[in-house]
Amino acid sequence: MIKTWFRNIALGVLLLLCFQADAHAVKNPPTLFGKANEQLKNGYYQEALTAYKKLEQNKQWSGALFINMGITYQRIDSLGKAKYYYLKASRFDGTEERAKQAVEYLDNQFSHQSVKLPKLPWDVDTEWLQRRVGAPALLAWGIILLNLGILVFISRWFFAQIPDITRNVAIGIMVLGILVIASGFYTRYIDDRYKQAVMVTEQSPVLEKPEKESTLISQSFEGYTFTVDEYKSQSKSGWSYVRMSNGLYGWIPNTKILIL
């Protein structure tokens, strides 16, 4: 009886120590990240992925984390997921170029290549604003410019020596501020509504309606990228309404893609 009691206590203490060690690893990302990197280096890919996913779930995001997750998935021949994480890594300044090179390499390894229509200049500009400036910064700069224009305009009421051309300058600054604010709202709208997604399964049909028996629009394969309309996708649980890189629109099951 006493031996059983001591054994239960010892087991409880051991479990508590294991739990505390695991919690410490999650709270201490560099330690867990370093261990995962060692596992990746030594070829223990599933163990490395488990550690990387813990960091991802705890929002310890970085370009290095996503690059290494892409490398790990590439090593286990899951190229769709590898591309997904390389694309995530490309959004960080420190890993942008390396990630883009990895995506370019992967695109040449997929057995099926998708036709890609060139982006419209407006779409290119909006994407640049999303990544390099951001909607909050655009709104802030727009408000600053608008207020500056108003101050310059009303200053003429108090200082008679200010030349008349100041009025036109003030109006120009206010108009510029309004345009920047409008760009901020539009960028925020686009960022909220449209997301990029990657096909991570071997293949899947893109359908006219969110129903398995619906008309086939196109066949998609691992590594294909889509633009997901988040607003329209909300109308049907389990499905995403997507625009393919060749310009076609249709529905695809959520289980087939990962959304960035």
- Identify the pLDDT of residue 30: 62
- Identify the pLDDT of residue 122: 65
The CATH number corresponding to 194-259 among 1.10.10.10, 2.30.30.40, 3.40.720.10, 3.40.50.880 equals 2.30.30.40
Contact of 56 with 40, CB cutoff 8 Å: no
- Confidence band, pLDDT 50/70/90 cuts, at residue 50: very high
Return the closest-CA partner of residue 225 out of 95, 89, 124, 79.
Answer: 79
User: Phi and psi (nearest 5°) for 70?
Assistant: -60, -45
% of the chain residues with pLDDT over 70? 84
- Which CA distances in Å does 119 have to 83, 126, 127, 195, 258? 20, 11, 10, 15, 22
Residue 142 or 22, more confident: 142
Return the closest-CA partner of residue 48 out of 27, 21, 73, 23.
Answer: 73
Instruction: Just give the CATH number of 2-107.
Output: 1.25.40.10
Instruction: Tell me which of 129-143, 198-212, 241-255 is least confident.
Output: 129-143
Q: Dump pLDDT digits (tens) for 153-186.
A: 887 777 666 676 778 888 899 999 999 999 889 8
Query: What is the pTM for the complete model shown?
Result: 0.76
User: Phi and psi (nearest 5°) for 174?
Assistant: -65, -45
- Identify the pLDDT of residue 160: 63
Query: Cα angle vertex 234, ends 232, 235, to 5°?
Result: 75
| Domain-wise residue ranges, the chain | 2-107, 121-189, 194-259
- Identify the pLDDT of residue 215: 92
Q: Dump pLDDT digits (tens) for 217-239.
A: 999 999 999 999 999 999 889 99
